[in-house]
Structure 1
Amino acid sequence: MSVRTRPALWWRVGIALSAFLGLTLGNASLVYFTVQSNVIVLGYFIGAAYWMLERGTVDAPAPRLRGAATLYIVITGLVSHVLLQHGANPLPGLVDGPDRLAHWSSFFLHYVTPVMVVTDWLLLKPRNASAWRDIPLWLAFPLGYAAVVLTRNALFADFPLKYPYFFFDPTTKGYGYVWGQIAMLTVEFVVLAAAVVGLDRLGTKVAGKLRPAATEA
């Protein structure tokens, strides 16, 4: 069976399309982690679709990079929904109000793309491709992002969008609050990274149970 007829290929094309729509329907700046993580996902899954066709396999390439992209987009979805939106329902803004395109952009960036990427990680190959030792490497990007934001703000007082997220803003509660938020988020990101590795193992079991009943996607 040709790779072109496999659901895995078209699911990954769908992920790239979702990230693309999220990035192009809105006008968010690259200064946001949301935008950066979706750019990473877009680039990875375009490359994945290309190499799947080139190699004639449903296995996604560069599994460590795939794990990193999965972690970053999970962070994006959870931080937005829990910390920024406080669990608010994202659906009403899609059909009502003057900023529907912005709501659709946010919906793709924070909900559709993360859910599709996690589904890909859970159900599609390769399996058992991540390792616990990958976690420090994966965390280098979000921690580096925080370091860049804080360093940039200290060096360039007139930089636009100095505080892309409230937990970077020391103007009301001071830097003690900022460092406390970063420490708390770091612990949470370690837990999420461990969950990504754990989902890889869980996905192996799920795929094993599904294989007798269906051909491999």
Structure 2
Amino acid sequence: MIQAPTSNSIFEVIIRFFSYFTILSNLIVFAYFISKALSAELGENGFWTKPETSTAVTVYITVVGIVYHIVLSKIHNPQGLAKIADHGLHSFTPIITLLYWGVFVSNKKVNYSSIPYWLLYPAIYFVYTIIHGALTQFYPYPFLDVSKIGLLQSFLNCLVVLVLFTFLSLLLSLIANIRYKKLNPST
């Protein structure tokens, strides 16, 4: 985007870059793992060390991988270094994060009541994307492009993805809580 900008403004190029859910979610994963690396200095009871946070982060990046491989990979064909970066963001990071969650977090109790809060990030992202797109005519993903598929279809696509977020949130929480109960039968 920086090498071949579609805009004259570097500010607009930066805004567009950070308008991708993939980029934002990978930054969240990065912040999460940095916080885990620093947890000895920051303490074990912080926001980033909670099993709910880890599960939400895992859901976000897992959706990135699923949506990319089911929908976007068929229409996006990067080459060279872009292909390596593309697989890092859409394949490697989701797989590593899910594996980390499965090994280190999936045996900890997760409160189901936190799930609605997890859904705020994708919901706000969708609202922002539709409003930003209406103002700039830039939609980062074709399944959200109101100018090409209409507002109703964009809304329905957002709803389908939010259902996926909800399903994965419930599924991972259920898995964690079942494993927690098996390891702690007296609770």
TM-score, normalization by structure 1: 0.67
Aligned partners of 1:130 and 1:121: how far apart in 2? 12
Corresponding residue number in structure 2 for 1:140: 120
Shift in Å at residue 204 of structure 1?
Answer: 4.5
More helix by share: 2
TM-score, normalization by structure 2: 0.77
Aligned partners of 2:58 and 2:101: how far apart in 1? 7
Give the residue type in structure 2 aligned to 1:165.
Y
The SS at the match of 1:106 is: helix
Which of the numbers 69, 72, 81 marks the counterpart of 1:81?
69
Corresponding residue number in structure 2 for 1:62: 50
Q: Which runs of 4+ in 1 moved over 4 A?
A: 53-56, 202-206
Q: What's the CA shift string for 1:114-134, capped at 9, x where partnerless?
A: 111111111114732312112
Give the residue type in structure 2 aligned to 1:157.
T
Aligned partners of 2:180 and 2:66: how far apart in 1? 24
**RMSD over aligned Cα atoms:** 3.0
Matched residue count: 167
- Give the share of equivalent positions with the same residue, in percent: 27
Structure 1 regions of 5+ residues with no counterpart?
1-26, 94-98, 209-217
1:50 matched to 2:38: yes
Q: What's the CA shift string for 1:94-145, capped at 9, x where partnerless?
A: xxxxx32111111111111111111111111473231211211111001110
Aligned partners of 2:146 and 2:106: how far apart in 1? 43
Shift in Å at residue 64 of structure 1?
Answer: 2.2
Corresponding residue number in structure 1 for 2:22: 34
Aligned partners of 2:42 and 2:21: how far apart in 1? 31
Structure 2 regions of 5+ residues with no counterpart?
1-13
